[in-house]
Structure 1
Amino acid sequence: MPTPAITAADLPDVLALFPLPGALLLPRARLPLHIFEPRYLALLEDAFKTRARLIGMICPTATPSGARRLSAIGCAGRVTSFSETEDGRYMITLTGISRFRLRDEVQGFTPYRRAQVDWAPFARDLGPAEEDPGLDRAAFLAILARYFAAENLSTDWGGLKEAEPELLINAISMLAPFAPEDKQALLEAPSLATRRETLLTLIEFALRGGKPEDLIQ
């Protein structure tokens, strides 16, 4: 039986959080994760008890003082597949559902962090895949090939040539080895076209010999 679609009514006011530096999850994209820390095993077990099975991926960032704080925006993913190892660890796949804005952390008795979140700014995330009419696929793939060669990365080029615009742009955004703050900029892009423009800026800067983390602050 197909998994029922997530609707706005399924989005909770309080969301369990999985802070992970540099991990990027985008709506309708898939992120594989290896869960082994006891607190996140507890988070996963609690997520399995709910219909939506949502986990909030969010990036911790360093403050000028060296302390770490949570980013203002994250993305909730639904556990859409999982397997358990003999020693109690889990391999799971999260499918991105919607971004959220962090409001206030909730204190309680869970070993993992939770927060009140606001979904309203990202209502579009629950809709169909976005389009990017301005995408020049040939030019995009050409600069991507140069970047992958420079970074010694490999990918399924046949699949990229056939991929829909959202899958293409989001997959590269998640795969590329950008700094956490650059991944955050890609997450917060207000549209697919803006994400593509940000992605190209990061790639072009890297190809010129700069470090992408120096570009977006």
Structure 2
Amino acid sequence: MDPRPFHPRLEDLPRILPIFPLPGVLLLPDGKLPLNVFEPRYLALVQDALAWGRVFGMIQPQKTPVEGEEAGPVFDTGCAGRITAFSETDDGRLLVTLTGVCRFKVVEEVESNRGYRRVAADWEPFRHDLEPAPDISVDRRRLMAALKKFSKMHSLDINWKAIDAASDLALTVSLSMACPFEPPEKQALLECREAEQRAATLITLLEMAVAEYKGGPRSVRQ
């Protein structure tokens, strides 16, 4: 039985992709990202996505916008997700779970629709994201040593039993998405070619953050 019966095929993915630019937010293939959607343009994006295949892209702006300003140019690489759960709230918000499907390259930005931005997407460089990922081997000793120090630095509430039970691949995906790294570091994790490379990069970022710690947390986006 297919473990991902609703997963789209390459030919199912749209050429013109709605995007949701958010700094410091990372979506990876097979990762699950909760979103609290309240801006009118992004409510429109989600409503349109629900009607057109449930797919839209998460991508980071190249520079974090000042509050109240529009996000500027985005990075060249993002990750599309499929809406796998959503609920409406009485105050007009949508609570969405977006499951990562496939990364994409931005060919160009095209005309916006109903206030939200759209890009022409090239899926070909990441078509392997659509295949079930084989598990990987992670140096758990190094990872756990760095993660314990990093979590203490940032007062992170971590379910250590769940971490012990997770596969190396699932752990790499969830920690890469959840750890409060800076946007360029999140982008580096996204752009790793394979999961093994991402796991090594994750450990390096954790160890670098611990080594740079000087008695107080770095300025990070939570």
Give the share of equivalent positions with the same residue, in percent. 45
CA distance in 2: counterparts of 1:78 and 1:136, whole angstroms: 31
Question: Following the alignment from structure 1 to structure 2, what is the Cα–Cα distance between the partners of residues 151 and 87?
Answer: 32
- Match of residue 131, structure 2, among 117, 127, 130: 127
1:32-71 paired onto structure 2 within 5 Å = 32-50=34-52, 52-62=53-63, 68-71=72-75
What's the offset of the Cα at 1:109? 4.1
Q: Is the 8 A contact 2:38 2:94 kept in 1?
A: yes
Work out which of the residue numbers 145, 161, 164 in structure 2 matches 1:161: 164
Q: Which amino acid aligns with 1:139?
A: R
SS of residue paired to 2:212: coil
Q: Which of 177, 182, 187 is the aligned partner of 1:184?
A: 187
TM-score by length of 2: 0.87
Q: Does 1:204 align with 2:207?
A: yes
Runs of 4+ in structure 1 off by over 4 angstroms are: 210-213
Unpaired segments ≥5 residues, structure 1 = none
Q: Report the TM-score when normalising by structure 1.
A: 0.89
The one-letter code sitting in structure 1 at the alignment partner of 2:93 is R
User: Does residue 175 of the first structure (1) align with residue 208 of the second (2)?
Assistant: no
Query: Match for 1:91 among 83, 92, 95?
Result: 95
The question of whether the paired residues in 2 share the 8 Å contact of 1:28 and 1:129 is answered with no
Q: How many matched pairs?
A: 208
Distance 1:181 1:27 in 2: 19
Partner SS for 2:102: strand
- Give the Å deviation of 1:209: 2.0
Equivalent residues of 1:105, 1:116 under 8 A apart: yes
Provide, for residues 81-129 of structure 1, a one-character-per-residue CA deviation record: whole Å limited to 9, x for no partner: 0110112111100000000000111115431001101000001100112
Q: Tell me, yes or no, if the aligned pair for 1:22 and 1:183 is still in contact at 8 Å.
A: yes
Amino acid at match of 1:40: Y
**Candidates 101, 110, 115, aligned match of 2:114:** 110
Tell me, yes or no, if the aligned pair for 1:61 and 1:68 is still in contact at 8 Å: yes
Structure 2 runs not aligned, ≥5 long: 65-70
Give the conservation status (yes or no) of the 8 Å contact 1:130–1:192: no
Secondary structure at the aligned position of 2:136 is classed as coil
**Aligned residue number for residue 7 of structure 1:** 9
Alignment match of 2:83 (pick from 76, 79, 102): 79
Partners of 1:95 and 1:53 in 2: how far apart?
Answer: 10
1:137 offset after TM fit, Å? 1.9
The amino acid of 1:58's aligned partner reads I
CA distance in 1 between counterparts of 2:40 and 2:181 reads 28
Q: Are residues 3 and 81 of structure 1, via their aligned partners in 2, closer, same or farther at CA, if it must alter by over 3 Å? A: farther
* Secondary structure of the corresponding residue to residue 204 of structure 2: helix
DSSP-derived class of the 1:62 partner: coil
Letter in 2 for 1:100: F
1:130-145 aligned at under 5 Å gives the runs 130-133=134-137, 135-145=138-148
